[in-house]
Chain A
Amino acid sequence: MKRKLSLLLALMMMVTLFAGCNKALQNPDENMNNNNDNKEQGQTSDGKDTNQYLNVYLSAEPSVLDVARFVGVVDRNMFFNVLEPLTRIENGEVVGAGAESWDISDDGLTYTFHLRENYWTDGQKVTAQDYITALQRQCDPNNAFPHVSDYNTIENFVAISSGEADVSTLGASAPDENTLVLKLNAPNVALLSSTDFFPDRADIAEKYGDTLGTEASNMMCCGPYTLESWTHNSQLVLTKNDKYWDADSFDIQKVTMLIIPDSNAQLASLENGSLDYLGVSTPEYVEKFQARDDMDEMMLSSARTSMVIFNCEDSVFSNEKVRQAFSLALDRDALAEVITNGTATPAYSLVPPDCQVGNLNFRENVEEPLTALAKEVDDPKALLIEGMQELGLGDDPSKLTVKFAWGATTAQARTYSELYQQLWQEALGCTVELEFNDSATHQSNVNAGNFQMASMSWGANYEPQFQLSRWSTEAGGQSRWKNAEYVSLVTEASQTSDEQKRLELYGQAEELLIKEAAIAPVYFMASRRFYYSYVNGLNANTFDTTSFKGVYTSGR
């Protein structure tokens, strides 16, 4: 009897297990299978495929698709697909999107946007109040919006988010449903190019509360695409929004975004056609894909600068000459070649070549400051000894030991940091110790000033102001480099509407930062993208926020 009972119990355990499982398998939608798309493919007279779709790679699971609580760049990028910001960047230029046109007052403090006629997927019109709702929710202390941005120049935005002012005092108003007025504390030249002004529906936010934007069904879209399905940690499917104001101008009807964490799986997915394009850095695969007739490649700038940050409050690195010596001792060609397999460009400045000051390209007009410094200094080692003497550390670099912190614990991180170590030790004759931590620990060490030299990278925005202002904070940025002249240059630049003058101010600020060696820029990051030849119109402008406009397939 007892044996039978035990057998029954064991059996029941197994049965309940599989009952639950069967439900799990049915749960995700049927669109999972990409092969569904491969129905009979025809072509229109202009050579475009009749069935326009893309399968693309997404680097991570979006955290939450709510403009007031989103966390990272993946979420932000998704907003450009499913929402309509006031402005977008197209082919490197700021263009109207949700706003058809705008007027800026002479003092640069009042922006009046005239909205375009656009609709939410439920048929309601997108109004100026929707854009205000987003801002109000972003400054609501209850949402603890974890970002600092160009919103901060909007009147009372900061005061409201710290609970010191009421939300009704926010400098945003809607004289009528098609007009949005933003009042600023101070002029902000980056306001239009930041393109982060999204609309948000108050009724939808209230309806879903905490669960807003956690599922495809718990949100409302008004962008070029609607989010059809979201299988967490697996894939998102976007379908073209026929109600979108500019729906006639683009071709792709459906985009499947696959979240693939493993790099081998990403490469296999491109190789067998499950993905239409992918950034590839593994040397063997680069060769393999280059040999294929049905694929092409393009270089994509990441608009990101890889750098070494010096702690200017450290007893050794408080000395400018020491920092300069460590900056100049790096062989940037070797580092870019070895670490990025030749895709990155050696950097002798902070601001990457993509950045614009209005219509002027920054890098084309401003020389890289470190190149000039390198001409002045023949021997970094002699400079280091000078610095050491100033600090009273003697004149023997071999007695100097410093620590270089790295924010990863992988085998690759070890190889790469050993290259830095070797370059410094050979050029300067000192001892460099390496320290490895996971990314969160590394960040918190750097923010707390608990380091000597740290590896770091900073992304750029369209305007150089974003990157430069990382070091104009009260604490002197992560380098703890306090320079009043620098702060005033950056502040003045961000309030100067004249492009030529602004460019010069940025240039002076950058020169200070690099020559006083608060950081040592190393290289501008880039990636090599392989795509199947049937994909046309892929955008190489890093800052473009045009969703999939301009892309089409031909001969898939």
Chain B
Amino acid sequence: MAKFILKRILYMLVVLFCVITLTFFLVHSIPGDPITSMVQDLPIETRDLYLQKYGFDQPLIVQYVKFIQQLLTGDLGQSLRYPGRQVVDIVANYAPVSGIIGGIALAIGFAVGILLGIIAALNRNRWPDRLVMVLALLGTTIPTFVFAAVLQYVFTVTVPLFPTTGWGTWGHLVLPVACMCVGPLASYARYMRSSVLDITNQDFILTAEAKGVSSFRIVSRHIFRNSFLPCITMICTSIAGIFSGSFIIESIFAIPGLGKYFISAINDRDYSVVLGLNIIFTGTYILSILVCDILLAIIDPRIRIAEEN
């Protein structure tokens, strides 16, 4: 097991390094520079001074080596668009905000989605199944921004129940969470449905039925447990994704999360923020895949044995 984990961690580091290198050169290859996107028309001397201060006047490869050296000391640098803000602080302050909305939305989406999926599968081709599948289809196809705009208008203008925008009270959470849980809810429902149907057709269910096991026991002990396994893979990667936030939802509801920072950093050519956030997102994502692999290896001995051979 230790060897398995060690190998995985090694892979992880290689992937992370490749992503960092690739992002660095990609970001610097976009036309434009931070100073041009901030201030329209500067005299050449002023611009040169600025570029000099941040070392952008040096050859790209020198900048890259410096960046890696800095990274090894754990320093992700400072934002260019927002002077004085450390990238590490930006993550520490705003990842939890994205996390809370994404986390609640994922939890609701996961729980309700799984439940609806089971109900749909057990009532296959009857009205509950059709209803759930139509709703799931709508949930996956309606774009978030449409859904968010409608919810915002209905619940803040027509029937003013919740604050329009902002952050700070539980009331501010309701609409963004509602918008964000629709997607996962729909996909978990569809995923769980097919997974349950798959298991229901297995021989061991037939055996259980033949032995006279009660149908409640069949569902709860045999079907649910087995069909739940593939969902672990999905939830692990989704958890990593929630901290990166949603640009659309954060913009519409003016939520101080990470998603907005990330997108605007690209538009602003804020190199250090784009790189720093990307390293962190990639890191958490890879880490969650590792956790997922370990979990699956623990649960399912077949994987472990296959890996060890």
Which residues on A are within 8 Å of B, measured CB to CB? 2-3, 5-6, 9-10, 13-14, 17-18, 20-25, 28-30, 32-35, 61, 63-64, 66, 69, 71-72, 141-142, 144-148, 158, 161-162, 210-214, 231-235, 258-262, 264-265, 268-269, 271-272, 274, 437-441, 443-445, 447, 458, 470, 473, 475, 477-478
* Cα A13 to Cα B284 with chains together (Å): 13
B43 touches A265 (CB 8 A): no
A234 touches B42 (CB 8 A): no
B83 touches A24 (CB 8 A): no
Known pairs A141-B53, A441-B30; A71 contacts B38 (CB<8 A): yes
Known pairs A6-B299, A261-B254, A441-B31; A24 contacts B82 (CB<8 A): no
Does B309 sit within 8 A of A, measured CB to CB? Answer: no
Closest to B85 in A: A214
A71 touches B295 (CB 8 A): no
Annotate B240-259 by CB proximity to A: 1 below 8 A, 0 otherwise: 00000000001111111100
Q: List 18 extra interface pairs beyond A148-B42, A265-B253, CB under 8 A.
A: A3-B298, A18-B103, A24-B100, A33-B168, A33-B171, A63-B81, A63-B83, A66-B83, A71-B83, A72-B38, A144-B50, A146-B35, A232-B94, A269-B165, A274-B165, A440-B37, A443-B40, A444-B36
B43 touches A20 (CB 8 A): no
Annotate B144-182 by CB proximity to A: 1 below 8 A, 0 otherwise: 000001001100110010011111111111000000000
A63 touches B256 (CB 8 A): no
Closest to A5 in B: B298
Cβ 8 A contact of A30, one of B49, B164, B168, B268: B168
Known pairs A9-B291, A272-B157; A264 contacts B149 (CB<8 A): yes
B84 touches A470 (CB 8 A): no
* Cα A212 to Cα B83 with chains together (Å): 9
B168 touches A272 (CB 8 A): no
Which residues on B are within 8 Å of A, measured CB to CB? 30-33, 35-46, 49-50, 52-54, 78, 81-85, 93-94, 96-97, 99-100, 103-104, 107, 149, 152-153, 156-157, 160, 163-173, 232, 239, 250-257, 260-261, 267-269, 291, 295, 298-299
Cβ 8 A contact of A268, one of B152, B170, B232, B268: B152
- Minimum CB–CB distance for B5 against chain A, Å: 13
- Minimum CB–CB distance for B307 against chain A, Å: 15
CB neighbours of B38 from chain A (8 A)? 71-72, 146
B168 touches A17 (CB 8 A): no
B53 touches A144 (CB 8 A): yes
CB neighbours of A440 from chain B (8 A)? 30-33, 36-37, 267-269
B41 touches A470 (CB 8 A): yes
B39 touches A234 (CB 8 A): no
CB neighbours of B165 from chain A (8 A)? 234, 258, 260, 265, 269, 274
CB neighbours of B168 from chain A (8 A)? 25, 28-30, 32-33, 231
CB neighbours of A212 from chain B (8 A)? 84
CB neighbours of A214 from chain B (8 A)? 82, 84-85
* Cα A50 to Cα B221 with chains together (Å): 66
* Cα A440 to Cα B274 with chains together (Å): 15
CB neighbours of B291 from chain A (8 A)? 9, 13
CB neighbours of B166 from chain A (8 A)? 32, 34, 234-235, 258
Cβ 8 A contact of A265, one of B39, B85, B170, B254: B254
**21 sample A-B contacts, Cβ–Cβ < 8 Å, listed by A number:** A2-B299, A9-B291, A20-B100, A25-B170, A25-B173, A32-B168, A32-B172, A63-B81, A146-B50, A213-B84, A231-B168, A233-B254, A262-B251, A265-B165, A274-B165, A438-B267, A440-B30, A440-B31, A440-B37, A440-B269, A441-B30
B299 touches A3 (CB 8 A): yes
- Minimum CB–CB distance for B41 against chain A, Å: 6
- Which of A142, A258, A265 has its CB near the most chain B CB atoms (within 10 A)? A265
CB neighbours of B261 from chain A (8 A)? 233
Cβ 8 A contact of A259, one of B32, B254, B267: B254
B36 touches A443 (CB 8 A): yes
- Which of B38, B53, B256, B260 has its CB near the most chain A CB atoms (within 10 A)? B256
A231 touches B82 (CB 8 A): no
Closest to A456 in B: B40
CB neighbours of A475 from chain B (8 A)? 44
* Cα A20 to Cα B103 with chains together (Å): 10
